[in-house]
């Protein structure tokens, strides 16, 4: 039925946007990204309502923002539960163990999509507007992912092909994760 598909689309879209933003927050904290960047300010403003209360209960472990990671996991779990309720599959026999594992797989999937879109945004900004206010923050976030490829793949005519290699690897990993059955 079309209404079920619409509800499912809305649930998955809102959860993905919030989940990826929470993962971005955790990653920005891990790499030590300054909060002055407009992109960082956007991410912090969008996720503060959920992360700040969790920080009172779940402390950070060094540079690992456990509250943001836990919030992303909770959002993934809620998304799966709501989706099962909407499609009427709540009574199909999903165990809590399967549900918890599926939520972890969903967070992994969001992480891979986050890397993919960060690299894509970095490439577009580097060609179209390398002096955009968000460009230094995006470059800082993709540097840890691109650095290993940049050591192996030389520049070709002054063009860095390492983002292509990274995108292919991320797409392969997404195929593996999506074929996991969760």
pLDDT at 35: 84
* pLDDT per position as a tens digit, 6-16: 999 999 999 99
* pLDDT per position as a tens digit, 73-113: 999 999 999 998 888 765 666 788 999 999 999 999 999 99
pLDDT at 96: 87
pTM of the model: 0.93
* pLDDT per position as a tens digit, 134-156: 999 999 999 999 999 999 999 99
Q: Dihedral, CA atoms, 58, 62, 68, 73, nearest 10 degrees?
A: -80
Per the listing, tokens 């993934």 go with: 76
């Amino acid at each position: 039925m079309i209404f079920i598909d619409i509800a499912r689309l809305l649930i998955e879209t809102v959860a993905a946007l919030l989940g990826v933003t929470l993962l971005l927050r955790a990653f920005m904290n891990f790499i030590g990204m300054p909060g002055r960047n407009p992109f960082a300010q956007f991410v912090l403003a969008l996720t503060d309502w959920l992360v700040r209360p969790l920080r009172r209960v779940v402390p950070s472990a060094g540079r690992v923002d456990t509250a943001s990671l836990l919030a992303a996991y909770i959002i993934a779990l809620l998304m799966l539960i709501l989706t099962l309720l909407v499609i009427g599959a709540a009574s199909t026999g999903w165990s809590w163990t399967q549900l918890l594992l599926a939520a972890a797989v969903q967070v992994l999937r969001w992480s891979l999509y986050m890397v993919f879109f960060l690299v894509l945004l970095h490439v577009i900004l580097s060609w179209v507007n390398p002096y955009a206010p968000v460009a230094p923050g995006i470059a800082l976030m993709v540097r840890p992912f691109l650095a290993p490829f940049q050591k192996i793949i030389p520049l070709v005519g002054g063009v860095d092909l390492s983002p292509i290699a990274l995108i292919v690897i991320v797409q392969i990993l997404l195929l593996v994760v999506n074929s996991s059955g969760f």
